[in-house]
């Protein structure tokens, strides 16, 4: 098992709270606050996208001490996926590429997530 120093453990603990600390407009209704298809609904979606990206940036800041542990094959995959998404001539093509990559990653990871979630729900140790 790899050695983790106190900084690594602190970073991991922080990851547990960063993604969901309040959310945009907290517990207020979202869909009822806009007319779907209106300019305001587009801005609402943009706000959520930008806010999600902001939260991921906080996660990245906290996880910096763990960066040296990034496996080279995952780094190469990330760079290749960035090229695919950024290589699209327009936003539609970029969105379609991002969706395809998202679905590929979900397919790759979802069985493990489900298994771990069920294990945790039962209170089982590894």
Q: Both 81 and 36 in a single domain?
A: no
- Record the pTM: 0.77
Residues of the chain with pLDDT under 70: 1-5, 7, 18-22, 125-126
**Residue 120, CB-side half-sphere exposure with 13 Å CA sphere:** 6
Q: 86 and 122 share a domain?
A: yes
Is the domain of 16 the same as that of 59? yes
Whether 30 contacts 44, CB under 8 Å: yes
Residues 64 and 78 in one domain: no
- Provide the domain limits for residue 63: 1-69
Give the count of domains, the chain.
2
Residues 96 and 46 in one domain: no
Q: What is the pLDDT of residue 1?
A: 43
78: phi then psi, degrees, rounded to nearest 5:
-60, -45
Q: Which of 30, 49, 69 is the last residue of a domain?
A: 69
């Amino acid at each position: 098992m790899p050695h983790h120093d106190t900084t690594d453990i602190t970073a991991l603990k922080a990851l547990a709270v960063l993604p969901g600390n309040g959310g945009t407009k907290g517990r207020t209704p979202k869909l009822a606050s806009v007319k779907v298809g209106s300019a305001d609904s587009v801005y609402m979606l943009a706000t959520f996208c930008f806010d999600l990206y902001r939260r991921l940036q906080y996660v990245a800041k906290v996880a910096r001490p763990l960066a040296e542990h990034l496996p080279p094959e995952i780094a190469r995959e990330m760079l290749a996926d960035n090229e695919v998404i950024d290589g699209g001539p327009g936003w539609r093509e970029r969105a379609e590429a991002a969706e395809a990559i998202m679905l590929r990653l979900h397919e790759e990871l979802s069985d493990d997530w489900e298994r771990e979630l069920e294990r945790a729900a039962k209170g089982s140790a590894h």
